[in-house]
C-alpha cells in the first residue's frame, strides 16, 4: 500500500516536471550552490531524488529566489500527500497575490477556483476524497494539481502562469475543451468549467421541488422534483442599487412565470 502511495506521489512530481524547461546555460557558482541545496533539502525532508534540471527550473521559475523555491517544494509535498489547507481566517488579513494570467485567457479558471475555495469549504471534499487508481489516473492528477492550486491560493502565495498552464494541460487530458479551432488556449465559460469539474469528481446533485400554482384544481402532476448541480440566477439591471443574493434566490424560486401550459 505504501509503495502504491509513493508511486502516486512520484507521478505528481514528474507531472510538474518542472513547469518550465531550464535553459541550458552555464550556471554561476551561486546558482549551482542553490541547486545543490534544494536537491539535498528535498532528499532529506521529503525523500525525493530528482534531477538537477528539476531544481534549476524550479529556481528559474522563482527568479532564483531560494526562499520561494523552498516554499514551492513544501506546497508540492503537501498536495502530493492529500493535504488541503484551511481557508484563511478573516482576522489574518492575508494579502492574496493570486494567479498570474496565462496568455491572457485563463481568467475563467482563476475566478472559478477563487469563488469555490478562497473562503468556502463546501467543495473541499472534491479535493480530499480517495480516488481508486483503477477509476481514473487522470482524475487523480487533476485532483492533486487542483489541490496544489487551492493551497497556494489560500496561503496567499503567488501562482505563476506556469502553474496555471500545467493545470490547463491536465484539464485537457481529462477531456476539457479549452482551446480554439487553431489549437490555442482560449477564454471559456466559467459555469461550463464548474459543471465539468463537478461531473469529473461526482459532486452529488441537489434536489429541487417544483410546484405549479395556476388557480385551477390541484393535480398530482403539479408537483415534481428536479435535480441539478447548479442554478443560473438572473441579475437585474438596477444601477446604483444593491442586489442581495437572498432576493435573487427568492425571485428564481417563487417568481418564475410559465405560460402556455394546457392540462390534458
| Domain at 185, CATH number | 3.90.70.10
Same structural domain, 134 and 187: yes
| Claim to verify: residue 130 and residue 164 sit in the same structural domain | yes
Clarify whether residues 219 and 238 are in a common domain: yes
The strand pairing partners of 15, in sequence order, are none
- CA 48 to CA 46: how far, in whole Å? 5
pTM, 2 dp: 0.79
Residue 39 belongs to some domain of the structure: yes
The number of folded domains in the chain is 3
- Report yes or no on 118 lying in a domain: yes
Tell me: do 57 and 153 sit in the same domain: no
pLDDT value at residue 117: 95
Burial class (CB in 10 A: 0-12, 13-18, 19+), 243: exposed
Three-state secondary structure call for residue 18? coil
**Beta strands at 206-211 and 223-228: parallel, antiparallel or unpaired:** antiparallel
The per-residue pLDDT for 1 is: 46
Q: Mean pLDDT for each consecutive 10-residue tract of the chain (264 residues)?
A: 50 57 72 90 82 85 89 90 90 84 95 94 94 82 94 92 91 94 95 94 84 70 80 77 84 73 62
**Same domain membership, residue 213 and residue 196:** no
Distances (CA, A) of 95 to 65, 110, 157: 19, 16, 9
Q: Spell 147-166 as b/e; 16+ CB within 10 A means b.
A: bbbbbbbbbebebbbbbbbb
Same domain, 195 and 100: yes
- Dist. CA 38–CA 217, nearest whole Å: 75
Identify whether residues 225 and 245 lie together within a single domain.
yes
User: Among the three residues 80, 113, 132, which one is the final residue of a domain in this structure?
Assistant: 80
User: Which residue among 25, 57, 80 closes a domain?
Assistant: 80
Same domain for 96 and 195, yes or no, is yes
Q: Which residues contact 9 (CB under 8 A, 6 or more apart)?
A: 80, 81
- Please tell me the predicted confidence (pLDDT) of residue 214: 66
| Residue 122 and residue 72 share a domain | no
**Does residue 129 sit in the same domain as residue 156?**
yes
Nearest to 197 by CA among 150, 253, 248: 150
**Domain shared by 103 and 189, yes or no:** yes
Range of the domain at 242: 206-254
Residue 260 lies in a domain: no
Domain boundary among 170, 200, 230: 200
Residue 85 belongs to some domain of the structure: no
| Claim to verify: residue 134 and residue 70 sit in the same structural domain | no
- Residue 229, C-alpha cell as written in the block: 448541480
Identify whether the C-beta of residue 131 lies closer than 8 Å to the C-beta of residue 139: yes
At 47 the pLDDT is 79
Residue 42 lies in a domain: yes
Amino acid at each position: 500500500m505504501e509503495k502504491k502511495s509513493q508511486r502516486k506521489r512520484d507521478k505528481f512530481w514528474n507531472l510538474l516536471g518542472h513547469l518550465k524547461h531550464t535553459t541550458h546555460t552555464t550556471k554561476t557558482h551561486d546558482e549551482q550552490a542553490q541547486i545543490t541545496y534544494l536537491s539535498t533539502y528535498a532528499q532529506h525532508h521529503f525523500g525525493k531524488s530528482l534531477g538537477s534540471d528539476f531544481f534549476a527550473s524550479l529556481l528559474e521559475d522563482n527568479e532564483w529566489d531560494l526562499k520561494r523555491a523552498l516554499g514551492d517544494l513544501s506546497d508540492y509535498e503537501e498536495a502530493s500527500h492529500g493535504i488541503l489547507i484551511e481557508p484563511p481566517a478573516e482576522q489574518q488579513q492575508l494579502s492574496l497575490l493570486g494567479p498570474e494570467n496565462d496568455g491572457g485567457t485563463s481568467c475563467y479558471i482563476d475566478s472559478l477556483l477563487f469563488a469555490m475555495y478562497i473562503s468556502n469549504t463546501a467543495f473541499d471534499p472534491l479535493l480530499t476524497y480517495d480516488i481508486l487508481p483503477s477509476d481514473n489516473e487522470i482524475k487523480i492528477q487533476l485532483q492533486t494539481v487542483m489541490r496544489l492550486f487551492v493551497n497556494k491560493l489560500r496561503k496567499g502565495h503567488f501562482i505563476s502562469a506556469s502553474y496555471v498552464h500545467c493545470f490547463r494541460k491536465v484539464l485537457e487530458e481529462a477531456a476539457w475543451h479549452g482551446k480554439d479551432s487553431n489549437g490555442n488556449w482560449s477564454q471559456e465559460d466559467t459555469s461550463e468549467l464548474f459543471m465539468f469539474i463537478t461531473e469529473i469528481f461526482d459532486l452529488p446533485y441537489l434536489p429541487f421541488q417544483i410546484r405549479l400554482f395556476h388557480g385551477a384544481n390541484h393535480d398530482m402532476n403539479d408537483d415534481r422534483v428536479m435535480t441539478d448541480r447548479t442554478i443560473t440566477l438572473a441579475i437585474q439591471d438596477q444601477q446604483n442599487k444593491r442586489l442581495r443574493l437572498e432576493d435573487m434566490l427568492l425571485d428564481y424560486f417563487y417568481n418564475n412565470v410559465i405560460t402556455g401550459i394546457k392540462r390534458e
